[in-house]
Structure 1
C-alpha cells in the first residue's frame, strides 16, 4: 500500500487530533480527579463539622423512614440508628433502654407531619425518660437537593447544661424579682421618707411616706415636679449635697429641720451613694428623741438642783470612774472645789485628795483600802459602810452601782444623829426602868394594834405568859389570851375598845373587868403624842372589897334606919289602935252611953280584947328586943309536934271558920322536938295568923310536918302553905322587915312584928325560916328545926 503524503498528513492529523484528544481527556480526567479529591476533602470536612456540631440532623421522610448519624443514636441511648421514626420509642418493660417516650414520639410525629404538609417550622423540647438529658428540636421542610419528595429535617440540640443554667437563672431571676418586689414594698411601706436620685441627681423614686410628708397627690407628681422634702442648708440645695456624696462615694448623715404636716420636725437625713447609678436617701424623724434629750437635760439639771438642796452628799462617777457631779453637801463634806468637779477627777485621785484633807478613815494600808473602794464600780447591789473620820466625825457612805458602769456615792454626816441616838437610848432605858418601877401595869400599842412596850407588872396582872409579849402580839391575840382569864370572856372586847379609842380615835376610854381568880382590874386607854396608845391597868381588888364592905355597911345602916322607921310606924299603929279602942269604950262607959248592961258588957269585952292585943304587942316588942340582944329566955321541953300544932289550930278555929277557909294538918305522931312551947307557939302562931289573914274566902291552908331527909338525921321541917293572894318580892321584903303589907287596901291588916319575931324566935331554937311567895299564887313558910 502506497503511503502518499496526503495519507501521511491525514495520519499525522489524526495522530495529532488523537494526541490532542488524549491530552484533553487527560486534562479533563486530571481536573475531575482534583474535583473528586476536593469533594472528598469537603465531604470529610462537612462530616467532621457535623460530628462536632452542637446540633444533629434527623431526616424524616414521608413514609417515616429516618436518616441520622450514629451520634444521635448514642445521644438517645440506642445501640444504632433505626430505619423508621416509630422505632425510636422506648420499649415498655424491655431490657433495652433509651429512646423517647411514646407520648413524646407521638407529639414529634404530629409536628413533623404538619411541617411536611405546610412547610411550617416547629420547635419542641423534650426530656429523655430516665435521664437528666434535655433536647431541643427545631424542624423545617428539607431542601429538595437534600431530599426531594417533601422530607422533614429536624435539628436536635443537646441543651442539658443550658437548661440547668437557664433554670438556675430563672430561679435567680424569680428570687431577684421577688426580692425587688419585697424591697419596693418595704420601701413603700416604710414609715420614714425614702427617695432615689439618678446620676443626674434628679428625683426618680419616692415612697408613700415621702409623698405624705410633702403633701403631694402621688409619687408621680413628686417626681414630675421634683418636690424636695428638705430645705436648702447654707445655700446648698439637697441635690448639691447629694452630688458631693456621689462624687466622694461616702455615705453622709446630718440632722436638719423640716416642715412635715405643718409642724417643724427634727430629721436625721442619710445619703447613700449607689455606685455611679445615683444616690439613695432616707430621713428619720427624731423629734421625739430630741424632745426626750431636751427633757432629759432639763430633768438632769432639775435633779442636780434638787440634789444641791439635800442635806446628804451625793456624787456621780461615770463608767470611766471620773467625777461628773457633786452636790453642795458633798463638796462641803470633802472640801471639793468646782474646778475639781469640772476637771472630771478620777475616783482614785479623789480618795487620795480626801485622805490629805482628813476626810477618809485612818487605815494602815491606804493603797489596798483604795483598791477595795475602787471595786465598788463592779458591784451588783448597793454597799454601805461607816467612815469614822479624825476629829470625831462619823460618815455613812452608800455606794450604788449604776447600769452604765458608773457609781453614785451617797454620804451622810451622822455625828449629830449618833449623839442623839445615844441620848435616846439613855432616855429609853430610863423610861423602861420608870415603867417597870410603877405599881400600875402598862402597855403601849402601835396604831396597827401590835404591842410595842410593856412593863413587868403587865403580864402578872393579866396572868399572861411573858413569851407571848416577847413576840409583840397583835391586839386580837392579846385579847384572846386575856379573855381566857376573865369571868366573862366577852368582856375582853371592852379592853379592845379602849385600845382602839386610844390609838385610832385619839380619845380616852376606861372600863373594869373581873378576873376568874377573884381580882378586879380597872383599865384605861390613853392616846400618846406619838400616835401610839397607852393601856394602863390597876388592880382595885382591895379597894373594891373595902368599897363593897363600906357599901354593904351603909346599906345595912340604911336598912336598919328603914327597919327602925317601919318598926316605929308599925308599933305606933299596933299600940295606938288598942289604946284608941280602950279609950273610946271607956269614954262611952263614963258618959253613960252604955246604960244597958248588955251594951256595957260588950264595951267591956272590947276593952279587954284591946288590952289583950296591946299586951301581945308589948310582949312581942319585948321578946324581939331580947332576942336581938341575945337575952330572950328559952325554956325548952319535949313537944309532940302533932299535938302542939293541933292546939295552935284549935285556938284559931273560930278565925278560920269565920274567914271561910279550910285547913289540913298533915303529920304523924311521934315527931318530937325540944322547944319552948310559948316562944315556938308564938312563932308558928304568927305565921299561921298571916296565912289566915292573907287567904281569901274559900282558900285552903296546909300544914305539913316531915323529916328533912329520909334517914331522919337532918331534923324536921314544918311548912305552912296557903293559896292566898301572895306577895311580890318587894312586899315580901317589907313584910320580913316588919312593915305593913299594903297601905292602899283597908281589908288587909298589918303584919306587925309577926314575921321578924317568928324568925328571931325560930333562930333562938337553932332553926331557920324560909318564906317563898308569888303574887296571886300563895305563900309557903318553911321552918327547919334540928
Structure 2
C-alpha cells in the first residue's frame, strides 16, 4: 500500500528515476568487473615476464644479449614493451573511469535517498485526517484517492462513495464542484471552491494541474478559516437574495423606490421609471424625478416612524392622467423605502357600486316581495313598501334605522311573530345570520294564519338581506295535494287488483295488499327498494314460466326510447288465472297490474280509477324530476363554470372576501355534483348495466393517488392519514377507478367520524391473490342498532354526514368485484371497515386478423 501511494504521488517520473538508477548500478558493476579482470590479466602477464627475466642465468643473459642484437629479437622485445605499456595505460584509464562511475553512483544514491525522504514527508502530509486528494493521470477515468476527511463532515470513507459527490454534498455544491472538476480535467483550468456537506459542514476544494496530472484536494476547515468560509457563503447568499428581490421588484407593475436619509432617490424599479416618464429607472434616480407631490413627501417625513410606516391614499398625475395610489412608506436606518398601489380602478368600482346599490334600492322598492337590508351593526338601512305593509310598522320608527333585535321585540309585543317557548333562543338563532356564511332559510307561521318563508343572506359588505316570501297559498295547495295522495294511497291499498310500480332501476316503488295476496308473498319481500329479481325469486313458487317475471324484468329495466305496453294471461300453480298488464309510466317508471279474471269488471273499474290517480301522481313526480334535471343541473353547470371563470386572472383581481365566497361556491357546487354522480352510479348498479373496466392496477400507485387526492379533505377535517402497507403489494386485476372510489368513500366516512386532531388508519395487505384493506378511525363508534342500516342509502351518521351514499356505493362496487365488506364498531372505541377484493383475470382479447 505504501509503494502504491509513493508511485501515485511522484507519477511516471518516480518510476523512471528508479529504473535509471538500477540500470546505472548494473552497468557500473559489470564494467568494473571487466576492467578488474583485464587489469588482473595484464598484471599477471607483466609479473610473468619479469620473473622470467630474473630466472635466466648470467651466461644465458649474455648469450641472449648477443642474440638481441638481431633484428627479430629487437622487434619482439619492442612489441612486448608496447603491449605492457598499453596494458598499463588501459589499467590507469579504467581506474579513473571506475572512480568517476562510483562518484555518479554515489550522487544517484543521494538523490534516491532524498526522494525517499521527500516521499515520506509527503506521505505523512497526505495522511492528515483533514484533507483528501483525488489524482487523475491524464484523461484516465480511474482516479486515485489519497487521505481521509474527518467523520463529522459526512464524507464517506470508501473511494467509490466519496467520488459520488452528490451523495454527501448539498445539491448546489455538488453540481458546482462537478462542473469545476470537469473544466479542470478538460481545459486545465484551476479552481478554488467552498462547498457544504449534507451535515452543513464547510469544506474547501482546490483543483490544480501538474505534470500531465489533475489534482483535486478536499480540505476540512477549522476555526478561523471555517468562520471566514461560512461568512463568505453567507455573503453570497445575501447577495443572491438582494439580487432576487431587486429582480422581483423590477418585474412587478407597482412603483417601488428607496430614499437616503436626506430624502433623495437611491434606487427605483422599472415601474417607477415608467410612472415618472423616464427612459429607465437609472435616469429617474439620476434626475431625482418624484412620483409623489411635495406635500405628500413632507407628510411622510413628518409622520413616518420606525414603528408606524406611512400609509395613505394619494392622488397624483401619471402619464397625463389623474390616478389614485395607496402609498406605503417605511422608515429604516439607511433611509426609507416605499411602494405605491394603483387603486384608481378600485375607486371607480366603488363609485359604480354606490350607483348600483342605489339602482337596486329603487328596483326593490317596487317589488311585491317584502325586503329589508341591515348593515354590519344590525341596523336597518333599507326597506321597501311591501316590508312596511307586511308588518304594519310606523314610518318614523323605520326611518330611525332601528336595531334588528329591537324590531323583533316590537313585533313580538304586537303579536305579529310566531309564538315561541324560548324567545331568547329563537331570537339568537334568527340573528345568527350576521355571523354565518351561507343563506339561512326558515318558516314562520304567523298568528294571523300566514306562512312566511324567510331568506336571510349575509352581505359581502357586512350585514344581511332579509326576504319574506308569502307561502300561505302554496302551503294550502300542498296540504290539499298531500291529502289527495293519502286518499289515493288508501284507495290503492283497498283495491282488489294487484298493483306494483317499479322505477327505471328495477326497484319496486309501491305495491298493494291485493298484489301480495295474489302472489302469496309477504310485505317484507316487496318493501320499497326491493329489486325485481328478488321479487321474481319470491314469486317463483307460484309461477316460473319464461313469459312471466323474467319478461317483466326485461321490460322494466329496458332503456329503449319506446317502451310498448305488454298484456297477457298467467295461470299460476295455485289455480288462479290472472290478466296482467305491463304499463310504462312517465319518468321511466313501469306499473304491473294483475286482475283476477273472475271478477274482471269490478277490477277494471277500480283499475281505471286507480290508474288515473297514479298518472296524476306520476305526472307530478315527472315534473319534479324534470325540474331537478334541467332547472337544477343547468344552473349548477353555470355556477361551476362561472366560479372557475372568476378565479382566472384575466377576469380581474378579487378581494379576499370575494375570493372566499367564490371558493365556497366552487366547493358547494362540487359537493352537489358529487352527490348527483353518486346517485347516477347507484342507479347504474341497480339497473345491472354497470361493467367493470378491468386492468392491472399497481397498488402502490393507487395508494399514492388516494392520499394525494384526499389530502385537502383531511386538512379541512383536521385529521391525518396513516397508511400501513408492505413495500411490495404488487398489482391486482380490478377496475382502477372503482377501486379508487371505494378507498376515497371509506376515508371520507372515517373523516366524518374521526375527532379533530386524530389519525385515520388505512391498512392494506395481501392474502394469496386477494387484496384486503381496512379503514379505521377513533371516533365515537356506531351503536349496534344502527349497524344494520349503515349500508342503507341516505343514512347519515357522522357529524358532517353528507348525503349518506358513501357506504352504499362501497358495498355496490365491492360486490361488483365479487368481494365482501364487513364493519366492526363499538361505541366509544371507533369503527373499522374491512374490504376483500379477490384477484381477477384480464379478459381475453382476440387479435385482429
Higher-Rg member (1/2): 1
Range into which the TM-score falls when normalised by the shorter chain: 0.3 to 0.5
TM-score w.r.t. the length of structure 2 is: 0.35
